[in-house]
Structure 1
């Protein structure tokens, strides 16, 4: 799923950090706002940026290993969703233990129109096939797919959207409804960590 960037004033800074916020080798920040260490070393000095600072939620540190395992994901496969510096997407991706080609990612990106929320996001990405909205713990969740093997569940968090994306590449592929249900289930398992 592609997200557009928008500008938000200010820059995120770690608070209450129990350890070093940057890697001594690179001088690049390696912890979230609460001082929790990323599960990998990032080389991107602008991994946290005005493109994705609309929420303090950090999937890479707030999704527990227990949840990752419960969904059949390989904990050791964790990687950054960002492929370059200053990306909109900030989060993590895990491969499924039984399929190296299939993966689940959860990431954050700022909404272009935060006041319009998820409705404005749906309108902006009209080429996405939108499925009926669902409710998780009293919060609106929109579900969209761009391919039968790919589906994502979106929830608003502050001025950002948290996207849980599932891609299942299998010889006997599941239905798009099953892929969407997987994305919604993972979001359901992590939503208590995601601030409104």
Structure 2
């Protein structure tokens, strides 16, 4: 894989582009161009993707699709703006596949959840942590019987990682505030969002 975006570095990865969010599912407007707009179960993305290879060999290790499987109830519960949804992918054939939501009370801060294939799926999260040794790794936790790794690269960024098939699902929080919370609080927020969505994430 080699190009997976580490969740905690998402805000600095130079992602460009701004898919247009839709308030509710609409008919597939890109059928004529052949660009896929639905997940494996036929659920419509909350925006129109312009990328023919949004789903690719870089992120096909799990069927989980955050953009369609994270419920609006969960998004609202965490103080996020449902209408702010955007694709984390800024280019075609990108490793990261998922969505990002801004906070209602702070548009500069956001929560994202996305999928990317593991370089060494047989090594699981341990191998992933070795691959990204520049990340500050905190003690692993357990959520509903599953191992979850917690990592950060800055006081305002933290992410929770869980394996799903041959992929890793990354839940990332970036809080940019005048009086920022502690890093422990940022990490707890990432873990809580993962906890709220983990039932949808296949092992």
Per the normalisation by structure 1, the TM-score is: 0.90
Distance in 2 between residues matched to 1:125 and 1:21, nearest whole Å: 38
* Distance apart, 1:24 and its partner CA: 2.6
Distance in 1 between residues matched to 2:197 and 2:109, nearest whole Å: 20
Distance in 2 between residues matched to 1:103 and 1:23, nearest whole Å: 28
For structure 1, the residue ranges without an aligned partner over 5 or more in a row are 6-18
- Residues 128-147 of structure 1: matches in 2 within 5 Å? 128-147=135-154
Distance in 2 between residues matched to 1:190 and 1:21, nearest whole Å: 26
- Residues 33-72 of structure 1: matches in 2 within 5 Å? 33-72=40-79
- Residues 108-187 of structure 1: matches in 2 within 5 Å? 108-187=115-194
* Distance apart, 1:23 and its partner CA: 1.9
The equivalent residue for 2:3 is 4
Distance in 2 between residues matched to 1:157 and 1:21, nearest whole Å: 28
How many residues get paired? 181
Tell me if structure 2 keeps the 8 A contact 1:78–1:95.
yes
The equivalent residue for 2:39 is 32
* Distance apart, 1:4 and its partner CA: 2.5
Q: Following TM superposition, where does structure 1 have runs of at least 4 consecutive aligned residues deviating by more than 4 angstroms? A: 19-22
Distance in 2 between residues matched to 1:111 and 1:87, nearest whole Å: 14
Distance in 1 between residues matched to 2:169 and 2:43, nearest whole Å: 19
Judged with a 3 Å threshold, the aligned counterparts in structure 2 of structure 1 residues 116 and 41 are, in CA distance, closer, same or farther, namely same
Distance in 2 between residues matched to 1:46 and 1:182, nearest whole Å: 31
Distance in 2 between residues matched to 1:121 and 1:166, nearest whole Å: 19
The equivalent residue for 1:8 is none
Root mean square deviation, CA, Å: 1.4
SS at match of 1:130: strand
For structure 2, the residue ranges without an aligned partner over 5 or more in a row are 5-25
Per the normalisation by structure 2, the TM-score is: 0.86
| Greater RCO (CA < 8 Å, at least 6 residues apart) | 2
